Amino acid sequence: MPYGPHTPGDRAHMLDALGIDSVQALFEDIPARVRSDGIDLPGPEPELTLAGRLEALAARNRVGLTSFLGAGAYRHYVPPAVDEILRRGEFYTSYTPYQPEISQGTLQTIYEYQSLIAELTGLDVVSASHYDGACATAEAALMTVRATRRQRVLMSRAIHRHYVDTTRTYFAAARLTLDELPTLPDGTTDLSALEAALADSERPVAGVLLGHPNVFGVLEPMSEATRLAHAAGALMVSVVEPVSLAVLATPADYGADICAGEGQPLGISLQYGGPYLGILASTQALVRQIPGRLVGRTRDVDGRRAYVMTLRAREQDIRRDRAASNICTNQALCALAATVYLAAIGPHGLRDVAALGAARARELEKALSEAGVPRVHAAPYLNEFAVRIEDAERVHAALLARDVVAGLPLAQWYPDDPELRDALLVCATETTTSAEIQRFATALAEVRS
Amino acid sequence: MTDTLEQTTKIPAGEGSGTERTNRELEAAARENEISTPDRDFTDARGAPHRGDGMGPRAAVGPSPQPTLAELSRPGRGDGKLPHAPADALDAIPEEQRRARPLGLPELSELEVIRHFVNLSHLNYAVDTGFYPLGSCTMKYNPKINEWAARLPGFAALHPLAPDTLAQGTLELLYELERMLAEISGMRAVTLQPAAGAHGELTGILMARAYHESRGDSERSEVIVPDSSHGTNPATASMAGYTTITVRSGADGGVDLDALRSALGPRTAAVMLTNPSTLGLFERQIVELLDAVHEAGALAYMDGANLNAVLGKFKPGQAGFDVMHFNVHKTFSTPHGGGGPGAGPVGVGEKLVPFLPSPRVLQEADGSYRLERSGERPTSIGRVRSFQGNVGVLVRGYTYIKAHGGSGLTQASEDAVLAANYLKQRLAGSYEIPYDRACKHEFIATARPLKAATGVRTLDVAKRLIDYGFHPPTIYFPLIVDEALLIEPTETESLETLDAFADALLAIADEAREDPETVKKAPHTAPVRRLDEATAARQPDLRWSPMTGAESPCPT
């Protein structure tokens, strides 16, 4: 068996100590009717051939293409310093810091993560991590239900489809109501529809959720939406992309109560969807409603500064069926990645990541527009936008044959929306080059001629 | 120290080459360094200097407390990772949408960043540094090829929305992993999407709900859990809109069959069992328990947290469980990451296949793979997260299973169970073993007699283990045993390690009788001693003070 330390002599010694002849004696409490006789899988496979198998599988993926795909997961430059720290066994082979005296490394990094995300969002309470942006959003929606004791939330349809779908799954289970808010032709959420939905006194609203930027890359009227939500006694949830917070108004600036988001852009590789980082932050007023671990700073008996998991009465291992969530294992190592990334890249670096993405996206918009492919929406965007192109899915496939991934055909997510049937969602980041943009424009001209 | 540095740098360069003179001066400076004494606020008993900032002693090697990133920050440090954006980059963003407050992130050189986190890592205990017998967590060795595999660029750089034709390698891996987990568990089909065990529980219970509703059976409003269950089980039931009914365990540690029967009824949606239980015991009446669940029309959920005990010995699907989750970060060796990420795939029997979350990984007639399209399977419970799951974790789990094969996995469970029984045997006598029969991969010991005789509690024993160089076991869980220590050695620890750990626990039992105060005040050798958790909860300090104004003007 690989990784096993026991010699035949070691096993014999342990069996002797137990006074048994065979390890099978230790499995006799499994009733014969349900005892199985092994697992039908080939192997063990020696590391050498296993490594070859994995390399061959990885090589069957094609990752070197010219890509404008974002839609909730973004290619960014990650300083090698980040992975250098993630590879430290002291971090990645430890577990939840149940014993604070020998877990100060993990505890302090979580405290630092909480502080950095608090700085980005302007909100003072940050949970130690959730599974991903979708689950953090669903948890944020559930928080508004607990805090207001109301049963209904309003979610813009222009929040990432997976987040809406995930929240819908969570809500269906708990018999709660989720209503989607329509969007205007400019790509923003329809605030008059929001106002009307909030006015329904029969069905009071717990929380209002908007994406910022939203799934179309568009900036939402967050201040006005927050004002409307608060006037109706509802909480405001902002679903963010964290890099954008380096240059955009923070959730605290426009008065949001809760912020959820996907932390993948903060130094975490794409990995076909995970592990990523669910960011969840709230105002101080909601500290006892926030799910997930929290780390606080305190002192030891000698007065030394130390860190510890705190406010644990919210959690499942203490409160069981009345816990704020069932979450136990979280995404701590991904939170560490974000912490190292932010420390390594610094405030100017993060601003540059956001601003360079915006600059490249404008360059992309210009190139596509000149090729006769205009934006769908008119509202301002940061680094992602939708373009209208006839026969979008066919064009997308033809571009793929030329090694260009032309973003995401929005018909996949909005099959019933005629406005989006012929739309591609494209993005640029600081890693996007002018040469790539030119390649896109040239290929586009070829497939359309 | 600063003065000393300045002395060195003030050495004049000398005229011409001036080698001799410079060397003489350097020598003088070196002598000066040797006799100079650093500023000290005070020293501790071992002579280690404190820095007067309340952070305790620092040493050249070994763990040292660390200031925060905010305290290390100096405006103007750290740059050069990226080109600067053009000045007009954000012109299209309306003024009122722009960030007004300064972005108070720390500014550090890369060396400072690396040193900070490397030094913090030294404050951690980990599997890579020592024995970590945390019950119900399966802290086995995390093989390094797994880390290498997950970082192969083909896996790591693949966008989650990449068209299927670009993702054939990963899709094949996921498709095969689903089938390997099905073979291991005897389940009909598997979803890899859930991000952790608790997330898998929620997914499984949502499928149970969808199953009952599909049959028009909408009166079922309860989930039954034993009193020894993980807290995640009742918390999951609540999230899924169910009321939790708790049934007691019998004297032998198993679920009390009669208690279960009387709790079961037409309102029962599911029963969540952990088998082996959190007491480390196999449910000897598992056949009768499952029959009772099914007779009531309920579904049987297995919490697979303890699967490492029964690989190749017991297949939950074959035994009649309808749904279960796997903890890839436990059974299949993927690292625990200081709290995560894990992965919590869910296996289902035939009845629940239609309700699996979307998207599933499908194989086409030509052998290629694709993801199910949105809305393709209307019976699905829908999405439980974004994208396809914690794929990077799943690559590691796949690698582990391949490295072992069926026989290797069975051997792993045999060795894990043998090690646990051996350790139990070695502790009997000094600690109470409340369930004295063959355990599976973990067992309960209690410090109950010790507490009665000496006042030393389980908490004290656990903290004293730290001084002996070990991570304490899980303590005070499960809740049904007083002063519980839940000990899980795993199959990857050597006999010498097991013996050293047993020796430590026996020595602590002796110490408790001879010198209880030393044990009660432990740990004595950790970077910090026991913490003031009450103040931490009463006056939560969850972030450092805002670094407003820390950002220097943007370089151009």
Q: DSSP letter string over B318-370?
A: HHT-SEEEE-HHHHT----TTT------EEE-GGGGGGPPSPPEEE-TTS-EE
Whether residue B400 contacts residue A1, with contact meaning beta carbons closer than 8 Å, is answered with no
Residue B12 confidence (pLDDT): 40
What's the pLDDT at B49?
56
Q: In chain A, list all ranges with CATH 3.90.1150.10.
A: 66-76+345-448
Instruction: Write the CA distances from B293 to A232, B264, B271, B288, B305, integer angstroms.
Output: 46, 7, 7, 9, 21
Nearest Cα residue to B393 out of B231, B197, B232: B197
Residue B467 lies in a domain: yes
Q: What is the mean pLDDT of residues B43-47?
A: 50
What pLDDT was estimated at residue B40? 40
Residue of chain A whose alpha carbon sits nearest to that of B276:
A30
**Domain match, B443 and B552 both:** no
B204 and chain A: CB distance < 8 Å anywhere?
no
Chain A hits for B312, CB-CB cut-off 8 Å, are 36-39
Task: Note whether A242 contacts B: Cβ–Cβ < 8 A.
Answer: no
CA distance A118 to chain B (A): 7
Whether residue B179 lies inside any domain: the answer is yes
Contact A93 B128 (CB under 8 A): yes
Q: Does one domain contain both B111 and B207?
A: no
Please check whether residue B119 lies inside any domain of the structure: yes
B329 and B194 fall within a common domain: yes
Q: Which residues, at least 6 apart from B356, have a Cβ–Cβ distance to it below 8 Å?
A: B189, B191, B207, B346, B348, B377, B380, B381
> Residue A165: which H helix or E strand, with range?
helix A161-173
pLDDT band per the 50, 70, 90 thresholds, residue B1: very low
Residue B64 neighbours by CB distance under 10 Å: 18
Confidence of residue B22 (pLDDT cuts 50, 70, 90): low
Report percent pLDDT > 70 for chain B. Answer: 88
Measured N-to-C along each axis, helices A332-370 and A104-121 cross at an angle, to the nearest 10 degrees, of: 30
A346 touches B69 (CB < 8 A) = no
Phi-psi region for residue B109, left (φ > 0), alpha (ψ -120 to 50) or beta?
beta
Pure H helices in A213-252: 222-231
B160 and B170 share a domain?
Answer: yes
CATH topology of domain A80-340: Aspartate Aminotransferase; domain 2 (3.40.640)
Strands (E), A157-290: 177-181, 205-212, 235-240, 258-262, 278-282
Contact B90/A415, CB-based, under 8 Å?
no
Residue where one domain finishes, among candidates B403, B424, B454: B403
| A316-343 tens-digit pLDDT | 888 888 888 888 999 999 999 999 999 9
The domain boundary residue, chosen from B355, B383, B403: B403
CB of B271 closer than 8 Å to CB of A16: no
Q: Give mean pLDDT, residues B437-460.
A: 96
Same domain assignment for residues B441 and B484: yes
All residues of chain B having their beta carbon less than 8 Å from the beta carbon of residue A23 are 414, 417-418
Cis-peptide, bond into residue B160, ω within 30° of zero = no
pLDDT-above-70 percentage for chain A: 100
Residues 131-160 on A with a CB inside 8 Å of B are 131-135, 142, 160
Whether ipTM > 0.95 holds is yes
Domain of B495, CATH number, reads 3.90.1150.10
pLDDT band at A436 (very low <50, low <70, confident <90, very high): very high
pLDDT tens-digit readout, A85-113: 999 999 999 999 999 999 999 999 999 99
Query: Is there a single domain that holds both residue B302 and residue B374?
Result: yes
Identify the CA nearest to B310 among candidates A37, A207, A42: A37
Task: Report the DSSP beta bridge partners of residue B484.
Answer: B446
Residue A370: the pLDDT is 95
Reference B516, options B433, B443, B452; nearest CA is B452
- The residue type found at A407 is G
Residues 427-466 of B with CB under 8 A from A: 437-438, 440, 462-463, 466
Flag whether B132 is in a domain.
no
Residues B177, B250: one domain?
Answer: yes
Query: Phi first, then psi: what are they for A281, rounded to 5°?
Result: -135, 155
- CA A422 – CA B396 distance, rounded (Å): 39
Q: Please give the Cα distance from B338 to B318 (Å, whole number).
A: 34
CA-based nearest distance B453→chain A, Å: 25
Name which of A292, A309, A330 is nearest A140 in CA terms: A292
Task: Please name the fold of domain A66-76+345-448.
Answer: Aspartate Aminotransferase, domain 1 (3.90.1150)
Residue among B46, B124, B476 with most chain A CBs within 10 A, to mutate: B124
Give yes or no: residues B380 and B254 share one domain. yes
Assess contact for B113 and A344: CB atoms under 8 A: yes
Say what the pLDDT of residue B57 is. Answer: 62
Whole-angstrom Cα distance, residue A62 to residue B204? Answer: 33
Which letter does DSSP use for residue B285 in this model? Answer: T
Q: Kindly determine whether residue A1 and residue B107, on different chains, have CB atoms separated by under 8 Å.
A: no
CA distance A120 to A122: 6
Cα A88 to Cα B337: distance, rounded to the nearest angstrom: 10
Question: Are B515 and B372 within one domain?
Answer: no
Task: Specify whether the CB–CB gap between A350 and A387 falls below 8 A.
Answer: no
Higher pLDDT, A257 or A329: A257
**Residue A378 in contact with partner chain B when CB distance is under 8 A:** no
* CB-CB contact of A251 with A221 (8 Å): no
Start-end ranges of CATH 3.40.640.10 in chain A?
Answer: 80-340
Give the pLDDT band (50/70/90) at residue A213: very high
In a domain, B86, yes or no: yes
B129 within domain boundaries: no
pLDDT of B27: 56
pLDDT in tens, B291-328: 999 999 999 999 999 999 999 999 999 999 999 999 99
Tell me: pLDDT of A1 over 90. no
Which residues, 6+ apart, have CB-to-CB distance to B167 below 8 Å?
A: A61, A272, B158, B369
Pairing of strands B323-326, B299-304: parallel
Percent of chain A with pLDDT over 90: 94
Residue B450 has which token pair?
């010790």
Identify whether residues B535 and B524 lie together within a single domain.
no
Under DSSP, is residue A309 helix (H, G, I), strand (E, B) or coil? strand
Q: What mean pLDDT comes out for the span A432-447?
A: 96
Res B550: pLDDT: 46
Residue B48 has pLDDT above 60, yes or no: no
Any chain B CB within 8 A of the CB of A51?
yes
Q: How confident is the model at residue B546 (pLDDT cuts 50, 70, 90)?
A: confident
Residue B481 to residues B227, B251, B340: CA-CA distances in angstroms?
10, 11, 28
Average pLDDT of chain B, as a whole number: 90
Instruction: Give pLDDT, residue B41.
Output: 44
Exposed/middle/buried for residue B220 (C-beta within 10 Å: 0-12, 13-18, 19+): buried
Does the pLDDT at position A444 exceed 70?
A: yes
Confidence class for position B62, pLDDT limits 50, 70, 90:
confident
Question: Does B47 score more than 80 pLDDT?
Answer: no
Q: What SS3 class is residue A261?
A: strand
Helical pair A8-18 and B495-514, crossing angle rounded to 10 deg: 40
CB-CB neighbors (< 8 A) of B549 in chain A: none
DSSP B403-418: HHHHHHHHHHHHHHHH
Residue B131 domain-assigned (yes or no): no
Task: Give the span between the Cα atoms of B417 and B436, in whole angstroms.
Answer: 15
C-alpha A270/C-alpha B158 separation (Å) is 6
Cross-strand bridge partners of residue B154: none
Domain span holding position B305: 146-403
Which is nearest to B479 in space by CA: B458, B501, B456, B465? B458
B104 and B208 in a single domain? The answer is: no
Please check whether residue B67 touches A, CB under 8 A: no
Nearest CA among B417, B211, B409 for reference residue B301: B211
Identify the band that residue A210 occupies on the pLDDT scale cut at 50, 70 and 90.
very high
Q: Is the pLDDT of residue B26 over 60?
A: no
- Give the domain-ending residue among B369, B403, B437: B403
B101 contacts A298? CB cut-off 8 A: no
Is B128 within the bounds of a domain? no
Which chain A residues are within 8 Å of B536, Cβ to Cβ? 296-298, 308, 310
Q: What is the CATH number of the domain that holds B273?
A: 3.40.640.10
User: Do the beta carbons of residue A91 and residue B338 sit within 8 Å?
Assistant: yes
| Per-residue pLDDT at B53 | 59
CB pairs under 8 A between A and B: 730
Average pLDDT of chain A to the nearest whole number: 96
Nearest to B312 among A28, A39, A262 (CB): A39
pLDDT surpassing 80 at residue B405: yes
Percent above pLDDT 90 for chain B = 84
From residue A113, alpha-carbon distances to A108, A329, A337, A339, B453 in Å are 8, 17, 9, 5, 44
Contact B311, B138 (CB under 8 A): no
Q: Please tell me the predicted confidence (pLDDT) of residue B31.
A: 53
Residue B9's pLDDT is: 36
Same domain, B553 and B434: no
pLDDT of residue B25: 62
Q: Answer whether residue A130 shows pLDDT above 80.
A: yes
- pLDDT (tens digit per residue) in B250-290: 999 999 999 999 999 999 999 999 999 999 999 999 999 99
- Mean pLDDT in residue range B493-509: 98
Instruction: Report whether the peptide linkage leading into residue A44 is cis, meaning its omega lies within 30 degrees of zero.
Output: yes
Query: CB-side exposure of A346: number of CA atoms within 13 Å?
Result: 26
Give chain B's domain count: 4
- Residue B553: is its pLDDT beyond 90? no
The token duo for B286 is: 């598992």
Q: Is A334 helix (H, G, I), strand (E, B) or coil?
A: helix
Peptide bond between residue A418 and the one before it cis (omega within 30 degrees of 0): no
